[in-house]
Chain A
Amino acid sequence: MSVLSDLSNALAAAAEIAGAGVVRVEARPRLPASGIVWSADGVILTAHHVVEQEDAGRIGIGLPDGKTITAKLVGRDPTTDLAVLRAQATQLTARTWADPAALKVGHLVLALGRPGEHVMATFGVVSALGDAWRTPAGGRIDRYLQTDVVMYPGFSGGPLVDASGQLIGLNTSALARGVSLTIPVTTLRQVVETLLTKGKISRGYLGVGAQPVRLPDALAKQLGQETGLLAVSVEPGGPAEKAGLFMGDTLVALAGQPIRHLDDLLAALSGDRVGATVNARVVRGGELRELNVVIGERA
């Protein structure tokens, strides 16, 4: 009885099992990346940043059996760095997803990729689990999941898998530098469903450049918040300018939600608000004003 040999065999088996649902995504010059088979009928999930060539017939999918087929882009969400492809195939192997509630800090995991012909693996532990977070581009990820797996070249778009070979999420090296982050399955499901039905993820747009500033004490007490967002630029013809917002205004609430940081604003500009008229509360010359803004759509 050797624990080490059991461990080694189990890791290799997990890579092999899960690897049957990992494909090569050829959609950029030189270095191919990886993708996850989402469903047997040809839906493939990968990272947005690895899909540089999206013209029909220019995306190649390398299957575990060695064949290469073509796929087309269904849609992409740069804010979560995800893209959905559809390949002309009906017999792909889609692997099962692990229960997100079972994942704990310290669990052993593998990152898989298929930048070449064969599945490749790196190994590590779950380093940190946390609350929902927002990417620098404004996408909301339902849970923070950091590991110490090595992101080998071409691993973006591949899965993080647990010791039994079940999928935990999608790895991408584009969301943060220096740490290995995984997008958990809950966010993947939301994005895939939206991209399959609508072809895009819409986000609201104001057309302001803003930075957080501290409010005067009296105003802070009155509003119950210490900071607001100072408009340092206003896009000509954008939704904010049309609503009468000036450079130098400090936005403190949008649609009834307090705006203290950039993150509050990104949260308030959700896709379902596009086209809606909402109330914007700003501080101008030390006084509060109410404006009506028609939320635009981010291109």
Chain B
Amino acid sequence: MNNLVQQLNDEMSGAVENVRQSLVEIRNGQGAGAGTIWRADGLVVTNAHVVRGRHSLSVTLPDKRTFPARVLARDDRHDLAALSIDATDLPTIEVGDSRVLKAGQWVMAIGHPWGVAGAVTAGVVIGEGAQLPEMAVSGREWIAVSLHMRPGHSGGPLVDIDGRIVGINTMITGPDVGMAVPVHVVKAFLRAAGLEETIKPAPPTRGGGYI
């Protein structure tokens, strides 16, 4: 029993450690939020409401280096923003699949709640989709999670047990219920902004087909 719980602890902390490598802090002159390094060449994804305001933006990496950031694309309706910083060889987050999430499966939200850097809260997926009772009027897709999201988690990653991002922490509807924008919505946003190369299937060879 003790070994099992110990192993659980090790696996959770291991997953968190990996995710933290690509977790950034975004300052907008008024407050701070979180963001996730999406591409090694400096593409960072966060919430639109984190980059709101007239002040200049800066992004601080886990190694404490701080860079000025510029907004490449912003979608207020889905509360998403893509930023660029002038850095290379950054550790990126692994992208998971938010379309296969199941009610009851384990997830973790990482961010800077109340300014506590890289803090983690864990829980389960309550449900997902555009029909959640409290979010139906929004007409948008959400992942509802049962964990303790707080201000400062915004823009940070919601990850599955393997540390793959499945959503962007965006808001709370109660002290114990958080809402994340599913990562497939993030991908669509980046595609529409021309920021994510779609993977093209290899051309069919003569006489053959896809296998």
Q: Which residues of A contact B (CB under 8 A)?
A: 2-5, 7-9, 11-16, 19, 31-32, 110, 112, 115-123, 149-150, 152-154
Tell me the minimal C-beta distance from A34 to chain B in angstroms. Answer: 11
Q: Among A5, A8, A31, which residue has its beta carbon within 8 angstroms of that of B133?
A: A31
Chain B residues with Cβ below 8 Å from A2 are: 11, 161
From known contacts A116-B133, A121-B124, A123-B104, infer whether A8 and B177 are also in contact, taking CB-CB under 8 Å: no
Chain A residues with Cβ below 8 Å from B161 are: 2, 4-5, 8
Q: Are A121 and B126 in contact (CB under 8 A)?
A: yes
Q: Are B12 and A150 in contact (CB under 8 A)?
A: no
Interface assignment of B134: CB less than 8 Å from any CB of chain A: yes
The proximity string for B residues 1-23 relative to A, scoring 1 for CB distances below 8 Å and 0 otherwise, is 00010011001100100000000
Q: Are A123 and B127 in contact (CB under 8 A)?
A: no
B interface, over-half SS: mixed
Q: Are B7 and A12 in contact (CB under 8 A)?
A: no
Interface assignment of B85: CB less than 8 Å from any CB of chain A: no
Q: Are A3 and B8 in contact (CB under 8 A)?
A: yes
Q: Are B15 and A120 in contact (CB under 8 A)?
A: no
Chain A residues with Cβ below 8 Å from B123 are: 122-123
A31 to B162: give the CA distance in the assembly, Å.
35
Q: Are B124 and A122 in contact (CB under 8 A)?
A: yes
Tell me the minimal C-beta distance from A117 to chain B in angstroms. Answer: 6
Q: Are A152 and B177 in contact (CB under 8 A)?
A: yes
Other CB < 8 Å A-B pairs besides A8-B105, A116-B129, A152-B126, 20 of them? Answer: A3-B4, A3-B8, A3-B11, A4-B15, A4-B161, A5-B161, A8-B106, A8-B160, A11-B104, A15-B102, A16-B103, A16-B104, A116-B132, A117-B131, A118-B103, A120-B127, A121-B126, A121-B127, A122-B124, A154-B133
Q: Among A11, A19, A118, A119, which residue has its beta carbon within 8 angstroms of that of B105?
A: A11
Chain B residues with Cβ below 8 Å from A4 are: 8, 11-12, 15, 106, 161
The proximity string for B residues 160-174 relative to A, scoring 1 for CB distances below 8 Å and 0 otherwise, is 111000000000001
A152 to B126: give the CA distance in the assembly, Å.
8
Q: Are A123 and B133 in contact (CB under 8 A)?
A: no
Tell me the minimal C-beta distance from B102 to chain A in angstroms. Answer: 4
Closest to A18 in B: B104
Interface assignment of B36: CB less than 8 Å from any CB of chain A: no
Interface assignment of B176: CB less than 8 Å from any CB of chain A: yes
Interface assignment of B32: CB less than 8 Å from any CB of chain A: no
Q: Are A7 and B146 in contact (CB under 8 A)?
A: no
Closest to A118 in B: B127
Closest to A123 in B: B124
Q: Are B133 and A32 in contact (CB under 8 A)?
A: yes
Q: Are A7 and B144 in contact (CB under 8 A)?
A: no
Q: Are A15 and B106 in contact (CB under 8 A)?
A: no
Interface assignment of B125: CB less than 8 Å from any CB of chain A: yes
From known contacts A3-B7, A152-B146, infer whether A12 and B103 are also in contact, taking CB-CB under 8 Å: yes
Tell me the minimal C-beta distance from B12 to chain A in angstroms. Answer: 6
Chain A residues with Cβ below 8 Å from B124 are: 11, 110, 121-123
A119 to B129: give the CA distance in the assembly, Å.
12
B residues 94-145 in Cβ contact with A at 8 Å: 102-106, 123-127, 129, 131-134, 144
